[in-house]
Amino acid sequence: MSYSLRRNLLAGFCFVFLIGLVAASSQTVYENGPINGDIDAWTINEGFVVSDTFTVSQGSSALTGLVFGGWVFPGDVIESVDVSITSAEFGGTSYFDQQVNLTQSNCGANSYGYNVCDETASFNGPTLANGTYWLNLGNAVVNTGDPAYWDENSGDGCHSAGCPSQASDNSAGPIPSEAFSILGTPTATTPEPGSLALLLSGGALAVGAIRRRWRD
């Protein structure tokens, strides 16, 4: 194999590897521990809102999603929930406020007769610098119109900086914190659009050179 072909193959492999790194860069920005499912849960519809702190500690991150523990009556599905991210509980500076669709999965019955499920949302959220913020959940929409609840876990088993969360209910005041994770992409590892275009064009040239060489 000629030096030119080896060089072009290496360029192509590096291109694929770098694209893989970009695709895999989404990660857990903050987690407040796993679902408990058998302590308590707090209503996140019918006028009730629950607010928990989370901390961004690994550099500026673009938030891309959320997973939380939900309690529902058997057969119920939480279809969407209002997600807001603010500088204070229930208010202050608003960084994000949107009704987002949910995917419900991994449901299992608890000792109280509820189904306890993973509730997952994907969204184009704000880019946040290191610091502590408040996640507020409310206005949950259930297919039957029933109440929806956010699992209380008191942050047991959490590993992120700043955990366990502080938490508050808009009617009860301070409460133990809830089960959730914030997902995001570190902005420092995401190429700028121009850089990504250059990377793509370089990879395309490398692949083209390889194909031309094999035809020669």
3-state secondary structure 154-186: CCCCCCCCCCCCCEEECCCEECCCECEEEEEEE
CA nearest to 140, candidates 40, 41, 46: 46
Distance, CA of 114 to CA of 149 (rounded, Å): 10
Q: How many CA atoms lie within 13 A of 152 on its CB side?
A: 17
* Arithmetic mean of pLDDT, 137-143: 98
Distance, CA of 56 to CA of 132 (rounded, Å): 6
Predicted confidence (pLDDT) per residue in 5-28, tens digit: 333 333 333 333 333 333 345 699
CB 61 within 8 A of CB 186: yes
Residue 196: what are its φ and ψ, rounded to 5°?
-65, -40
Distance, CA of 82 to CA of 45 (rounded, Å): 9
Predicted local distance difference test score (pLDDT) of residue 192:
45
Q: Tell me which of 144 and 207 has the higher pLDDT.
A: 144
Predicted local distance difference test score (pLDDT) of residue 9:
35
Does residue 214 carry a pLDDT above 90? no
Q: How far is CA 124 from CA 53, 130, 173, 215, in A?
A: 20, 18, 30, 44
Predicted local distance difference test score (pLDDT) of residue 188:
64
Q: Tell me which of 142 and 213 has the higher pLDDT.
A: 142
Q: Enter the tokens of residue 215.
A: 């035809």
Predicted local distance difference test score (pLDDT) of residue 25:
52
**Amino acid type, 190:** T
Predicted local distance difference test score (pLDDT) of residue 26:
66
Predicted confidence (pLDDT) per residue in 27-66, tens digit: 999 999 999 999 999 999 999 999 999 999 999 999 999 9
Residue 82: partners with Cβ closer than 8 Å, 6 or more residues away: 97, 98, 99, 100, 136, 137, 138, 139, 140
Does residue 149 carry a pLDDT above 70? yes
Q: How many CA atoms lie within 13 A of 200 on its CB side?
A: 8
Predicted confidence (pLDDT) per residue in 68-115, tens digit: 999 999 999 999 999 999 999 999 999 999 999 999 999 999 999 999
Does residue 199 carry a pLDDT above 60? no
Predicted local distance difference test score (pLDDT) of residue 16:
32
* Arithmetic mean of pLDDT, 155-162: 97
Length of the chain (residues): 216
Predicted local distance difference test score (pLDDT) of residue 209:
35
* Arithmetic mean of pLDDT, 187-207: 47
